[in-house]
Amino acid sequence: MATPKKLYILACFTVVAIWQINLPYLFYFIYPLNLLATWSHEMGHGITAMLLGGEFSHLKIYLNGSGVAYYRSSSDLSNAITAAGGLLGPCIIGFIMVSNIKSEKSAGYILGILSVSLLISLALFVRNPSGIGIVVVLALLIYGLNFLKGRIKIFAAQFLSAQLMLSPLQNWRYLFMEQANVGGKIIKSDVSQIASNFFLPIPSFAWGIFIAFLTLFLFTLSLKDKTQ
């Protein structure tokens, strides 16, 4: 039961467009997706750091949709890759999820894995009150999607996975910023950290372009099993 391609594209990029327009009443409509993108972004940083031999202490998520992961990398190159992991980790995981949703049963597995992952992260890494509440609500909402049936359930799982895949475009301007305001503090952006720690002198805006194009490339690949 493949999802119609036009519906898939329309639904995904409607959300991306709402992200960019930033109108208050539309923003509340996609607010849970914004928080899910933040959670996946910070987990992407932390898990990447751990895979490279570093440490992942904890993360915080704020009600305005911002977040921060507290990690320590083992080298400059590891720090660059870990910074990229926050952007590309959810993108790649989302692509894998979309590609493996072929039936109602597989959709249920994906939704279950995502809700359990949220709860595991809650136990191990989430450390601020707003973050705890956000992760609990997200886990319950995603688990609740398991009660859908047929094509609606499949589409819901694919749509949710696609939002992870497209999360680097949630705020495309961030891909070209040198700094960001997180929890009232000014910190270096991810692309700025990549540029300053990578062994080649590639400017931060070039990394932003690369990440944007890779995101769109993976989204294009995800269309291959969709019907017209």
- Residue 184, pLDDT > 80, answer no
> Which has the minimum average pLDDT: 3-17, 23-37, 97-111, 171-185?
3-17
In a domain, 122, yes or no: yes
> CB atoms < 10 A from the CB of 56, how many?
21
In a domain, 134, yes or no: yes
In a domain, 43, yes or no: yes
In a domain, 203, yes or no: yes
- Mean pLDDT value of segment 157-183: 83
Tokens describing residue 136:
């609990």
- Residue 202, pLDDT > 60, answer yes
Better-predicted residue by pLDDT, 198 or 25: 198
Place of tokens 């972004």: 41
Are 58 and 125 a contacting pair, CB within 8 Å?
yes
Q: For residue range 94-135, what is the model confidence (pLDDT) as tens digits?
A: 999 988 888 899 999 999 999 999 999 999 999 999 999 999
pLDDT of residue 65: 86
Q: Give the domain extent around 90.
A: 5-221
- Mean pLDDT value of segment 61-90: 92
- Residue 170, pLDDT > 90, answer no
Confidence grade of residue 16 (pLDDT, cut at 50, 70, 90):
low
In a domain, 228, yes or no: no
In a domain, 227, yes or no: no
In a domain, 226, yes or no: no
Total structural domains in the chain?
1
In a domain, 14, yes or no: yes
